[in-house]
Chain A
């Protein structure tokens, strides 16, 4: 499948965006944390900023909350520039990575903190707090102090407190990072459900690509202060823009190839070490084909990415290349049984190591390929992704 041109930033729907981040730059001394980011987030959208630590995602979030001021550019909420509005006057709330629960206040006191600052009537506060406790399933724990709660319960209090003022936009800084794996997966679904029912816009910062994909409508992958790619999880997974995004989202094999020929429906690549032929289907759609053709220039080197689960593995060597399948011959160099799937490392005869995962739909115990087995890796013609960068 070919890479599509994707506008960095852009809006999911045609409606006016809730948040517009316009060419925002933030420097700390000589270090540029956020380097000219432009992004729109729509009403009710669940957006994930994804990247490794130090990529600027948290700084961007803190500028949205009002804890940092952009050096250049502007942040607009509902069309109004809020770049200079202090945090305590923004209709935006944040859930902190450390939760930042007030240790001297009860669960109810924490949740009611923002409402009291608004001067809301006592009865209405009690009502709202009770509703939020129900929402995050903490009924009956309202009078506990934060230190009397488990990590998962504290996370829920933090969420309820951030939701209490019914913000237009909720910012979540690594909301699930402190939870163990099992709890994290359960909470992902709850978080998504809460976001959907309340219809709020969520912007979540995370370094966990699985979490980003599970939660978000759209993901923005950040690299050294810039947005490397913005798009729906499936689009980013299937059509990463460059090597960085491809590597960051899921596992990937990258094969260096030389372009041999490009015809109407098929491109022929030759692997650089090894020299095997790899066929790549040219898509039917006019625009996609044009992009692919611009990327594939005959005689030039290109990086072909293939997800490990798209490769097929077989022990016996079938007859030569037929149809739209390319074959790479190698030896099993490593096996890891992961339960639902088995991951193999295949050392190709011509050099380079491929990672191949096989679903254990029929039970793997008997059929696992042993170390040293000669194998054929089949590359379906529509499995390859050509990178832009």
Chain B
């Protein structure tokens, strides 16, 4: 019995070590930098922990840490704006991905069983090519003289090219496209697990197909909806490459703002503080989701 318990503790060790080495430790370093001051030196922040001075050194080190960078973020409207823009775009993109994801996952889950592996493969296939190539492909599609405008104009639907590239719309398209599999898989899995007779029961009791969807399907696949939304929303908030390639300089998202502080201004402490704030912003919905999952269980 005690041997078994010991084994259980040992088995828990690798994930604990992994999390410690690659999450907790880097997080603490970032947190410590965020409480420092920017200097033009190597490393570009102060104070530096001097262990040779013993306990006194640690004391002075701790006394020099402050929340200055956080108050900068709170005071800076541009910074605030970047957070709000990021959250807004991520939320909108998540919603759109959910809609597109449902349109894909619903027929996939209802397809004949032998066709399903093929459909899953077709969904994954584009993602075997490089992410950057696919992002550049969207530039070719969306630019004023690109494929989309060419098609619409040759069909006579528009006479002037639509300006899509370097707008928020292009960012949304990019995010929806890139993160779609992360939405489709949890949705598909929960739809497939759902007992099909539940929908028949709903119809039998007088619910139209649309009512059945909202009253039965959605509650049944809710965990999948939450998981898919989290998998899209969390990386979308901090997304850097898609807004950089498809968006314009007017839409400043937090990923870009962070990059600017870190690489252009070499203000590591402020960038670190921004990263910590980003983490907090993203963590809140995740905690909320966990709560939800627990209450529905």
Contacts and interface: CB of A to CB of B under 8 A. Distances in A.
Interface of A: 65-67, 86-89, 92-94, 96, 98, 100-105, 113-114, 117-118, 161-162, 164-165
Interface string B180-202: 00000000000000010110111
Contact of A94 (B204, B209, B296): B204
B1 interface: no
A114 B203 contact: no
B201 A118 contact: no
Given A66-B203, A117-B206, 18 more contacts: A65-B200, A67-B200, A67-B203, A86-B203, A87-B203, A87-B204, A88-B204, A88-B205, A88-B208, A96-B200, A100-B200, A101-B201, A104-B219, A104-B220, A104-B296, A113-B202, A117-B205, A162-B204
Closest 3 pairs between A and B when the two form their complex, measured CB to CB: A114-B205, A117-B206, A100-B201
A87 B215 CA distance: 17
Of B201, B203, B222, the most chain A CB neighbours within 10 A belong to B201
Nearest to A62: B200
A349 to B, nearest CB: 55
B224 to A, nearest CB: 13
Given A103-B220, A104-B296, A117-B211, A65 B195 contact: no
A113 B203 CA distance: 11
Contacts of A88: 203-209
Nearest to B206: A117
B141 interface: no
B61 to A, nearest CB: 53
A364 to B, nearest CB: 46
Contact of A96 (B197, B206, B209, B220): B197
Contact of B195 (A87, A92, A94, A98): A98
Most A-side CB within 10 Å, residue of B203, B208, B215, B220: B203
B216 interface: yes
B280 to A, nearest CB: 31
Contacts of A102: 198, 201-202, 216, 219-220
A216 to B, nearest CB: 22
Contacts of A162: 204
Contacts of B197: 96, 98, 100
Given A103-B220, A104-B219, A104-B220, A96 B201 contact: yes
A117 B207 contact: yes
A117 B209 CA distance: 12
Contacts of B203: 66-67, 86-88
7 contacts: A88-B208, A92-B204, A94-B204, A98-B195, A98-B197, A114-B205, A161-B205
A101 B198 CA distance: 7
A6 to B, nearest CB: 33
A101 B216 CA distance: 10
